[in-house]
Amino acid sequence: MHSSILVLQGYALSYAHYGIHHEMLSDSVRTLAYKDAIAKNAKLFSGKRVLDVGCGTSILSMFSCSCADASKVVAVDMSKIICQVRQELEPVIEAR
C-alpha cells in the first residue's frame, strides 16, 4: 500500500472516536475564535455556497449559516463516527 494512503488512513482513524470531537468542541477559546473569525468576515460568506471539507461535527458549517448567512453549506467528512451520526440524524435532516 502506498505510504500516502497509509497516512490518510491514520489521519482518518485519529478522528474515529467521540473523544476527539468532544475535546475540540469543549475548547471554548478555539471554538469561539473560529466563530468570531467567521462573523467578522460575514461579507465573504453572505449569500455564498460554502464547502466545509473535513467538517467533523460541522460546527464551522453551522457558524457559516448562523453568523454569516451562507446560502448553502455542504459539510463533508470521512470519519466513520461522523458518518454514523449522520445516518442516525438522517430522518431529522431530511425533514428540514
Domain coordinates of the chain in residue numbers? 3-95
| pLDDT single digits (tens) 12-57 | 777 777 788 889 889 999 999 999 999 999 999 999 999 999 888 8
What average pLDDT does this structure show over 58-81?
90
Q: Which of 7-11, 28-32, 89-93 has the lowest mean pLDDT?
A: 7-11
Domain 3-95 maps to which CATH number in 1.10.3720.10, 3.40.50.150, 3.40.50.1970, 3.60.110.10?
3.40.50.150
Among residues 84, 58, 89, the alpha carbon closest in space to that of 73 is found at 58
Give the helix/strand (H/E) hosting 50.
strand 49-53
Q: Three-class SS of residue 74?
A: strand
Write down the pTM of the prediction: 0.75
What's the mean pLDDT when you consider all of the chain?
A: 85
